[in-house]
C-alpha cells in the first residue's frame, strides 16, 4: 500500500479504479438501462474507464503535489455529475440534459421533493472521495515536488482515447449509427457512459443554439410565402364533417404496402388489413400510392411529419435534436380550436426518441408509455410490449379519455429484427434464408391479428362507430440490404427505382357519416395527413406553416418528396439522381423543363422546412389571433402511483 501511494501514479490509479467501480455500481443499481446481451453488459462495465483516464489524466499535468489535489477535484466533479443524474433519474427516469437544466419548470417541481429523492445509502457514494482525501494527506509528503514528465499524462490520456475508440466501435457494432441517429439517452448512457453522454449532449447543444441565435423573425416570411402558395383549399363537401369526432390514429410499425394482399405459402399474410382495404361496408378509403417520408429518425420522423406537416431532418431525429423548439402541432391546434384532449399510447420507455420532452411542445396531454402496462416477460418482445396486450390494456385508458379526443396508438412488435414467440406465430416464416425477411411476415400477421382484436374492442366499447380512424405505416421494414431475399419473394429485380416504389406504406381513413371511396390511386405522403385532418375537423390549414396539402382537396399537390431529395409524382419520379417514367419505370434521358422545375421545388421545400427547424422559426410565427404558444410546463408524463 505504502508503495502504491508513494507515487502520484499510484494515487491516480486508485482514483481511476474508484470512479470506475462507483460508476458501474450506479449504472447497475440506480439506472434501469435494459441490458439485452453480453456485449451491452460488457460495455456498461467498460465505458467509465475511458472518461476516468482522460479526465483524471488531465490533473497529472499539474505541478508537483498539486496534481493529487486536481485528481481529487476532477474525481469530485465526476462524482457530482453522476450523483446529480442519480437524483434526477429517481424523479424523471431520465438523464440530465442541458435544456432540462435551463427549463426551470423541471426543477420547480423537483425542488420541493428533492429531500425525498435522497437516500441514506447515498452516503456510500461519498466513501471513495473521503478515502482519496485521507490518502492524499497521508501519502503526499512522499511525493516528488517536481512536475511529472509530460509524456506520462499524455500516454495516459492517449490510452483513455484508445479505450474510447474501442468502446465506440463495439457500441456501433451492436447498435449501428448510435450517435448519428440520436436514438435515446438511455442508449448513449448504456453504451458510452454518463460522462460521455454529457459531452455529447453539450456538443449537440452548442450546434443547436448557434443555428438558433443566427435566425431572426424575417426568416419565416419566405417559408410562409411558400406554404401559403402551396396550400390547397378544402373540399367543400368534406370541410368540417368530422368536427367534434374522436380521432384514433393507428401506427402500423414497419409496415410496407407490398404486404397488402400478399400471399405467402398460398395464405394471405394480413387478412384483416386486406379486408379493410377491400372494405364492403364502405367505411374506409385506402390510398395505394401513399409514401412514407422518413429518414434516420424512423418512427419519430413519421410522428413528427404527421403531427406537424414538416420534414424531419436529413440527419438524426428532429424529435431529439430539435426537441425544445417551438411547435404548432396538430394536438395543440385541435386542443386550442376545438377543445380536444390528446394521448399517445406506446409500450416502450418514454424517453425513446426523446418523446417525453417533445410531446410537451406538441401539447400532448397524456403519454401512456411502458410504465402504464404490464411489462412482465411473457408480454414483452424486442423493443417492448407485444401488440395484443398493448391494445388490450390500452382500452380502459382510451375509454377514460375526455371527449373529443385524439388518440395515437403506436404498435411495436412488427419491428426489426421481427422476433416472435412461437405461440404468437400463426403463419410459417418465408423461406429465403434471410432471417429477418422470413420473420417479417410472421410479425406482420401478428400485427394484423392484434389490429382485428382492437377493432372488435372498439366496436364493443361503442367507440368505433363515431370516431375518425386513421391507419398508417411509419416507414420501410425491409432495407436494401435484403434485396436478394426480396427479389425472391417478389419475383422481380430490386432496382433503385423499384426500391423507391417499395417505400409505399398504407394509409387509410374512415370518417363517420362519409362513405369510404375504396382504393384511390392519388399520390400522397405522410406530410399531407395533418392538413387533411384539419379540414375534416373544420379547421382551416391555411393559417399554419404546413408543407403538405389536403388529400381530399381538388387542389391537392400530387408530388411526394422524399427526405433525400428524390420524389414521386403519378407521371414521373426521381430516384438517386435519375428521372423515371413512373408508370413504366423507364429511365428518362432528357428530363423536360417541368421535371427539372419539380426537382427544384422539392429541393427548395426541403430546405425551407430545414430552416424552420434549425432556426426554431415558429417562435416568430403567430398563426392567428386565437393562437396561444404552448406552455410546456403544463405537461408531465410521470405515472402517478
Ligand atoms: C421505439 C419504436 C421504434 O419506441 O418507436 O422506433 P424505430 O426504430 O422504428 O424508429
Ligand atoms: Mn418504426
Residue 106 scores a pLDDT above 50: no
Q: How far apart are CA 618 and CA 227, in angstroms?
A: 13
Residue 182 scores a pLDDT above 70: no
Which ligand 1 atom lies nearest to the CA of residue 349?
4
DSSP assignment, residue 351?
Answer: T
Model confidence pLDDT, tens digit, residues 266-314: 999 999 999 999 988 899 999 999 999 999 899 999 999 999 999 999 8
Q: Check residue 281 and give its pLDDT.
A: 86
Residue 104 scores a pLDDT above 70: no
Distance 121 CA to ligand 1 centre (A): 36
- From the list 299, 411, 413, 443, the catalytic residue is 299
Q: Check residue 558 and give its pLDDT.
A: 97
Mean pLDDT (the chain) is: 93
CB atoms near residue 625 (< 10 Å) = 6
For residue 122, give the 3-state DSSP assignment: helix
Model confidence pLDDT, tens digit, residues 560-609: 999 999 999 999 999 988 999 999 999 999 999 999 999 999 999 999 99
Query: Are residue 122 and residue 191 in the same domain, yes or no?
Result: yes
Q: How far apart are CA 365 and CA 360, in angstroms?
A: 8
Among left, alpha and beta (phi > 0; psi -120 to 50; other), residue 579 is beta
What per-residue string of b and e applies to 444-454 under the rule 16 or more CB within 10 Å gives b? bbbbbbbbbeb
Model confidence pLDDT, tens digit, residues 51-76: 999 999 999 999 888 999 999 999 99
Q: How far apart are CA 596 and CA 606, in angstroms?
A: 16
Residue 514 in any domain: the answer is: yes
Backbone angles phi, psi at 538, to 5 degrees: 85, 25
8 Å CB contact between 362 and 327: yes
Query: Are residue 206 and residue 266 in the same domain, yes or no?
Result: no
Q: Check residue 481 and give its pLDDT.
A: 84
Model confidence pLDDT, tens digit, residues 209-250: 888 999 999 999 999 999 999 999 999 999 999 999 999 999
CATH number at residue 284: 3.40.720.10
Model confidence pLDDT, tens digit, residues 321-362: 899 999 999 999 999 999 999 999 999 999 999 999 999 999
Q: Check residue 2 and give its pLDDT.
A: 58
Residue 429 in any domain: the answer is: yes
What per-residue string of b and e applies to 148-185 under the rule 16 or more CB within 10 Å gives b? beeeebeebbeebeebbeebbebbeebbeebbebbbbb
**Among 541, 606, 526, residue whose Cα is nearest residue 252:** 526
Report residue 3's pLDDT band, with 50, 70 and 90 as the boundaries: low
Model confidence pLDDT, tens digit, residues 132-155: 999 999 988 888 888 788 899 999
Which pTM was predicted?
A: 0.83
Query: Are residue 425 and residue 540 in the same domain, yes or no?
Result: yes
Residue 223 in any domain: the answer is: no
Query: Are residue 258 and residue 207 in the same domain, yes or no?
Result: no
**Among 337, 319, 356, 336, residue whose Cα is nearest residue 630:** 336
Q: Check residue 543 and give its pLDDT.
A: 97
Distance 24 CA to ligand 1 centre (A): 27
Backbone angles phi, psi at 249, to 5 degrees: -110, 125
Given ligand 1 and candidates 176, 184, 254, 353, which is best to mutate, with the most ligand atoms within 8 Å of its CB? 353
Distance 421 CA to ligand 1 centre (A): 20
Q: Check residue 178 and give its pLDDT.
A: 85
Among the bound ligands, the one closest to the CA of 312: 1
Q: Domain of residue 160: give its range.
A: 2-212
Q: How far apart are CA 520 and CA 393, in angstroms?
A: 34
8 Å CB contact between 294 and 474: yes
Pairing of strands 572-575, 518-525: unpaired
The β-bridge partners of 581 are 572
Residue 407 in any domain: the answer is: yes
CB atoms near residue 299 (< 10 Å) = 24
Angle in degrees, 0-180, between the axes of helices 38-59 and 8-30, rounded to the nearest 10 = 140
Nearest CA to ligand 1 atom 5: 299
Q: Check residue 108 and give its pLDDT.
A: 41
* Residue tagged 367543400 (cell numbers): 236
Model confidence pLDDT, tens digit, residues 431-453: 999 999 999 999 999 999 999 99
Instruction: Find the residues whose C-beta lies inside 6 A of ligand 1.
Output: 298-300, 348, 352, 383, 412, 415
Report residue 186's pLDDT band, with 50, 70 and 90 as the boundaries: confident
Query: Are residue 471 and residue 594 in the same domain, yes or no?
Result: yes
Among this protein's residues, is 413 annotated catalytic?
no
Which ligand 1 atom lies nearest to the CA of residue 299?
10
Residue 11 scores a pLDDT above 80: yes
Residue 532 in any domain: the answer is: yes
Model confidence pLDDT, tens digit, residues 530-565: 999 999 999 999 999 999 999 999 999 999 999 999
Model confidence pLDDT, tens digit, residues 479-535: 988 999 999 999 999 999 999 999 999 999 999 999 999 999 999 999 999 999 999
* Residue tagged 369510404 (cell numbers): 516
Nearest CA to ligand 1 atom 6: 299
Query: Are residue 445 and residue 502 in the same domain, yes or no?
Result: yes
Residue 114 scores a pLDDT above 80: no
Given ligand 1 and candidates 184, 293, 299, 352, which is best to mutate, with the most ligand atoms within 8 Å of its CB? 299
Beta-carbon contacts of 55 under 8 Å, excluding residues fewer than 6 positions away, are 74, 78, 195
User: How far, CA to CA in Å, does 221 sit from each of 311, 322, 511, 611?
Assistant: 18, 21, 35, 11
Query: Are residue 287 and residue 343 in the same domain, yes or no?
Result: yes
Distance 86 CA to ligand 1 centre (A): 26
Query: Are residue 165 and residue 262 in the same domain, yes or no?
Result: no
Q: How far apart are CA 14 and CA 37, in angstroms?
A: 30
Q: Check residue 113 and give its pLDDT.
A: 62
Distance 254 CA to ligand 2 centre (A): 5
Query: Are residue 190 and residue 290 in the same domain, yes or no?
Result: no
8 Å CB contact between 559 and 574: no
Which ligand 1 atom lies nearest to the CA of residue 253?
9
Question: What distance lies between CA 395 and its chain's CA centroid?
Answer: 24
Query: Are residue 190 and residue 88 in the same domain, yes or no?
Result: yes
Query: Are residue 167 and residue 295 in the same domain, yes or no?
Result: no
Residue 630 in any domain: the answer is: yes
CB atoms near residue 487 (< 10 Å) = 14
Number of domains the chain contains? 2
Residue 295 in any domain: the answer is: yes
Q: How far apart are CA 33 and CA 89, in angstroms?
A: 11
**Among 505, 560, 469, residue whose Cα is nearest residue 246:** 469
Nearest CA to ligand 1 atom 3: 299
Query: Are residue 256 and residue 123 in the same domain, yes or no?
Result: no
Residue 273 in any domain: the answer is: yes
**DSSP states along 405-462:** EEEEEE--SS-TT----GGG--SPPP-SS-HHHHHHHHHHHHHHHHHHHHHHHHHHHT
Peptide bond preceding 186 in cis form (omega within 30 of 0):
no
Given ligand 1 and candidates 36, 176, 253, which is best to mutate, with the most ligand atoms within 8 Å of its CB? 253
Q: Check residue 233 and give its pLDDT.
A: 98
8 Å CB contact between 273 and 448: yes
Amino acid at each position: 500500500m505504502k508503495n502504491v501511494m508513494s507515487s502520484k501514479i499510484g494515487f491516480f490509479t486508485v482514483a481511476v479504479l474508484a470512479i470506475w467501480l462507483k460508476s458501474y455500481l450506479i449504472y447497475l443499481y440506480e439506472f434501469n438501462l435494459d441490458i439485452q446481451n453480453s456485449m451491452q453488459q460488457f460495455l456498461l462495465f467498460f465505458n467509465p474507464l475511458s472518461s476516468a483516464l482522460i479526465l483524471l489524466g488531465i490533473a497529472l499535468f499539474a505541478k508537483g503535489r498539486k496534481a493529487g489535489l486536481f485528481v481529487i477535484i476532477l474525481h469530485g466533479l465526476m462524482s457530482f455529475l453522476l450523483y446529480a443524474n442519480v437524483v434526477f433519474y429517481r424523479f424523471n427516469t431520465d438523464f440530465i440534459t442541458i435544456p432540462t437544466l435551463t427549463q426551470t419548470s423541471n426543477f420547480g417541481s423537483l425542488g420541493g421533493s428533492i429531500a425525498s429523492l435522497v437516500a441514506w445509502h447515498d452516503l456510500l457514494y461519498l466513501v471513495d472521495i473521503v478515502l482519496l482525501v485521507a490518502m492524499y494527506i497521508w501519502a503526499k509528503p512522499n511525493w516528488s515536488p517536481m512536475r511529472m514528465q509530460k509524456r506520462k499524462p499524455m500516454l495516459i490520456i492517449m490510452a483513455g482515447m484508445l479505450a474510447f475508440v474501442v468502446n465506440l466501435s463495439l457500441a456501433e457494432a451492436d447498435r449501428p449509427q448510435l450517435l448519428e441517429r440520436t436514438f435515446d439517452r438511455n442508449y448513449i448512457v448504456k453504451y458510452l457512459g454518463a460522462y460521455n453522454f454529457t459531452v455529447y449532449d453539450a456538443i449537440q447543444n452548442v450546434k443547436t443554439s448557434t443555428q438558433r441565435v443566427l435566425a431572426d423573425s424575417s426568416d419565416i416570411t419566405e417559408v410562409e410565402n411558400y406554404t401559403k402558395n402551396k396550400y390547397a383549399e378544402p373540399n367543400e363537401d368534406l370541410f368540417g364533417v368530422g368536427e367534434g369526432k374522436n380521432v384514433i390514429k393507428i401506427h402500423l410499425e414497419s409496415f410496407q404496402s407490398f404486404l397488402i394482399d400478399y400471399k405467402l405459402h398460398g395464405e394471405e399474410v394480413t387478412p384483416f388489413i386486406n379486408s379493410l382495404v377491400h372494405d364492403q361496408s364502405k367505411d374506409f378509403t385506402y390510398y395505394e400510392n401513399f409514401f412514407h417520408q422518413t429518414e434516420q429518425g424512423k418512427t419519430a420522423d413519421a410522428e413528427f411529419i404527421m403531427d406537424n406537416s414538416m420534414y424531419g431532418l436529413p440527419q438524426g431525429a428532429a424529435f431529439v435534436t430539435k426537441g425544445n423548439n417551438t411547435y404548432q402541432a396538430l394536438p395543440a391546434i385541435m386542443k386550442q380550436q376545438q377543445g380536444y384532449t390528446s394521448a399517445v399510447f406506446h409500450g416502450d420507455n418514454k424517453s425513446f426518441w426523446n418523446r417525453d420532452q417533445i410531446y410537451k411542445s406538441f401539447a400532448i396531454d397524456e403519454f401512456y408509455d411502458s410504465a402504464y402496462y404490464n411489462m412482465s416477460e411473457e408480454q414483452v418482445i424486442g423493443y417492448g410490449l407485444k401488440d395484443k396486450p398493448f391494445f388490450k390494456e390500452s382500452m380502459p385508458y382510451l375509454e377514460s379519455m375526455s371527449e373529443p379526443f385524439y388518440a395515437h396508438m403506436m404498435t411495436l412488435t412488427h419491428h426489426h429484427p421481427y422476433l416472435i414467440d412461437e405461440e404468437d406465430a400463426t403463419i410459417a416464416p418465408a423461406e429465403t434464408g434471410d432471417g429477418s425477411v422470413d420473420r417479417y411476415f410472421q410479425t406482420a400477421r401478428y400485427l394484423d391479428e392484434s389490429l382485428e382484436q382492437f377493432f372488435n374492442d372498439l366496436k364493443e366499447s361503442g367507440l368505433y362507430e363515431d370516431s375518425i380512424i386513421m391507419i398508417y405505416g411509419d416507414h420501410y421494414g425491409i432495407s436494401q440490404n435484403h434485396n436478394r431475399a426480396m427479389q425472391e419473394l417478389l419475383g422481380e429485380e430490386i432496382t433503385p427505382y423499384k426500391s423507391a416504389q417499395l417505400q409505399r406504406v398504407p394509409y387509410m381513413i374512415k370518417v363517420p357519416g362519409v362513405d369510404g371511396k375504396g382504393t384511390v390511386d392519388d399520390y400522397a405522403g405522410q406530410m399531407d395527413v395533418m392538413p387533411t385532418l384539419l379540414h375534416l375537423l373544420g379547421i382551416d390549414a391555411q393559417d399554419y406553416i404546413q408543407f403538405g396539402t389536403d388529400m381530399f382537396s381538388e387542389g391537392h399537390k400530387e408530388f411526394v418528396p422524399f427526405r433525400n431529395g428524390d420524389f414521386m409524382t403519378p407521371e414521373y419520379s426521381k430516384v438517386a439522381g435519375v428521372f423515371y417514367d413512373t408508370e413504366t419505370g423507364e429511365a428518362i434521358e432528357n428530363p423536360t423543363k417541368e421535371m427539372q422545375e419539380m426537382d427544384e421545388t422539392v429541393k427548395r421545400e426541403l430546405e425551407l422546412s430545414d430552416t424552420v427547424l434549425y432556426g426554431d422559426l415558429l417562435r416568430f410565427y403567430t398563426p392567428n389571433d386565437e393562437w396561444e404558444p404552448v406552455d410546456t410546463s403544463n405537461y408531465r408524463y410521470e405515472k402517478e402511483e
